[in-house]
Amino acid sequence: MKKVLQGNVLGLKKHALAMALGVGLGLGSLSMLHAASPNVSPPSLKASAPHVYVVRKGDTLWDIAGKFLKSPWRWREIWASNPHVKNPHWIYPGDRLLLCSFNGKPLIGRDEGDGCEGIIRRHTGSINLKPQVRVESLGEAIPPIRLSDIDVWLYRANIVAPESLTNTPYIVGANDHRLLAASEQKVYARGNGLAIGEKYGIYRQAEPYIFKDAKGNKYTAGIELLQVASAVSTATTASGDMTTLEVTQSYDQEIRRGDLILPEYKNELPSIFYPIAQHEVRDGGQIVRVLGSIGDAAKRSVVTIDRGILDGAQTGQVFNIYQQGEVVQDVKTKKPITLPQEEIGSLMIFKTFDHLSYAYVLDSTIPIKVGASIQSPLASE
């Protein structure tokens, strides 16, 4: 855990770009990188699973998978991919999905007018068709989770190493003596390295992530940065240590003196969720912060977990959440006892850093407290 996060801003930016290029927006990109679930038995269908479902605008892949399966994260095991069309894994509003049976196992695919027979033929490659191009907006494709629930943390938040912020330019004032983050407002930053005409983000430091090592010594695992505005560098002094920036967009927060100027980070939504193999990620992970709230987490909350890239964490991974039982008094012995831990929900990682990751709570049965543990679904089922 003492290894540092990305050494500098440029390194983090390159990683984010590489992640965006590698992940993309389609449901198929990760399926080629990760083997199918090693479960021997097929996924269990819900008793209420529909035989026909028409995809609606606003649906998510998790919503749809949950209509059919008791364990929605096993969706890839029953999805019938059509190899004859470009981006065969994408699902769009208006698509008619059919629940079929193939070799005694459930199979779900997009109806192209020939029912389950056609879905099975295309899935097995037993029909010889030329590749087809389906013209659709990428923005209309069904996402794995609701983007609106995570957009702040996906696009405008990052966790960096403390040492990477050394000598970072920072806001010292504004041309009208007010720091309102209004469009076209001019603000001034002190520090070298800002290029004229380049676009930057204005970031505020949040509470650092502080942990203890094996000896009980505290250390900072990362510092969270929240973007409050975007700006373009328009002028600099002769010495180069004072730069004028024009605000181009604000995010409902004022700019403050001391806010940092950094390149804007680029991130993308993971293309699919998937289970992880046991021990693929270092054991012992837990939820360490509920983002945007001082209370407990619940379904659709965003949380930080203490597992990151260096621990094996990747975007799209799904974990089950376990919470330790409460301490109660034994009615006979009058001594305190701790009830067993219980599975209370699941989460999906959507953004990774070296030692930490942001995750989205897919479902929960009770409020989730900081300290709840996470485990591989394959290890816990």
Same structural domain for residues 33 and 134? yes
Q: How many domains does the chain have?
A: 3
Q: Is the dihedral of CA 36, 378, 76, 14 positive or negative?
A: negative
- φ/ψ of residue 35, rounded to 5: -65, 160
Same structural domain for residues 285 and 371? yes
Same structural domain for residues 106 and 71? yes
In a domain, 3, yes or no: no
pLDDT at 168: 95
- 211, 234, 262 — which closes off a domain? 262
- 143, 164, 195 — which closes off a domain? 143
Q: Tell me: the pLDDT tens digits for 11-32?
A: 333 333 233 323 333 333 333 3
In a domain, 53, yes or no: yes
Same structural domain for residues 335 and 253? no
Same structural domain for residues 133 and 157? no
In a domain, 4, yes or no: no
In a domain, 2, yes or no: no
- 143, 171, 195 — which closes off a domain? 143
Q: Tell me: the pLDDT tens digits for 292-350?
A: 988 899 999 999 999 999 999 999 999 999 998 888 888 888 898 888 889 999 999 99
Range in 50-59, 238-247, 300-309 the model is least confident about: 238-247
Same structural domain for residues 169 and 207? yes
Same structural domain for residues 168 and 112? no
Our CA dihedral for 308, 161, 187, 156, rounded to 10 degrees, sits at: 0
Phi-psi region of 292 (alpha: psi -120 to 50; beta: other; left: phi over 0): left
pLDDT at 181: 66
pLDDT at 348: 96
pLDDT at 84: 64
**Euclidean distance between CA atoms 30 and 307, whole angstroms:** 20
Same structural domain for residues 245 and 279? no
In a domain, 20, yes or no: no
What's the distance, Cα to Cα, between the start and end of the chain in Å?
Answer: 29
In a domain, 299, yes or no: yes
pLDDT at 7: 38
Mean pLDDT over 68-94 rounds to: 83
pLDDT at 83: 66
Q: How confident is the model at residue 353 (pLDDT cuts 50, 70, 90)?
A: very high
Q: Is the pLDDT of residue 179 over 80?
A: no
pLDDT at 282: 94
Q: Is the pLDDT of residue 152 over 90?
A: yes
Cα distances (Å, whole numbers) of residue 313 to 8, 318, 319:
20, 10, 11
CATH number of the CATH domain containing 341: 2.40.10.410
Same structural domain for residues 236 and 252? yes
Same structural domain for residues 170 and 239? yes
**Euclidean distance between CA atoms 9 and 15, whole angstroms:** 10
Q: How confident is the model at residue 270 (pLDDT cuts 50, 70, 90)?
A: confident
Mean pLDDT value across the chain = 84
DSSP conformation letters of 52-93 = EEE--TT--HHHHHHHHBSSGGGGGGTB---TTBSSTT---T
Same structural domain for residues 256 and 299? no
Range of the domain at 115: 28-143
Percent of the chain with pLDDT over 90: 60
Q: Tell me: the pLDDT tens digits for 359-379?
A: 999 999 999 999 999 999 864
Query: Which is more confidently placed, 319 or 4?
Result: 319
pTM of the model: 0.82
Q: Which amino acid is at 13?
A: K
In a domain, 268, yes or no: no
In a domain, 203, yes or no: yes
